Amino acid sequence: MTEFETVARLDELEPGSLACARVGDEDVALARIGDEVYALQGHCIHLQGPLCEGRLDGHVLSCPWHGWQYDVRTGENEFDRAIKLETYPVQIEDGEVKVAI
């Protein structure tokens, strides 16, 4: 059974924003788009840039170091779909954002 861990309150995440979280031993980037929250591995595949410090434009997350871009819904790289970040399930319950690794 998948264990979900509370990482934030939904009202702490502004729509169109990114946030850093930690789930167990994993760094996670949270992206809020409207009322949806997506969770991805916290570091870029390229040179491990901190994705939660990147830029969010619609569903596209850009790494702050070298601009690699990923779709937060799927984790796929925008230029090479064979390159993919880990994505994690998210639940929102009673205003709490929960992520499972």
Domains in the chain, start-ordered, CATH in brackets? 5-99 (2.102.10.10)
- State the average pLDDT over residues 64-91: 96
Residue 19 to residue 1: CA distance in whole angstroms: 26
Q: Is the CB of residue 18 less than 8 Å from the CB of residue 51? A: yes
Average pLDDT, the chain: 96
Contacts of 72 (CB under 8 A, 6+ apart): 31, 33, 38, 40, 56, 59, 60, 61, 87
Chain segment 52-71, per-residue pLDDT in tens: 999 999 999 999 999 999 99
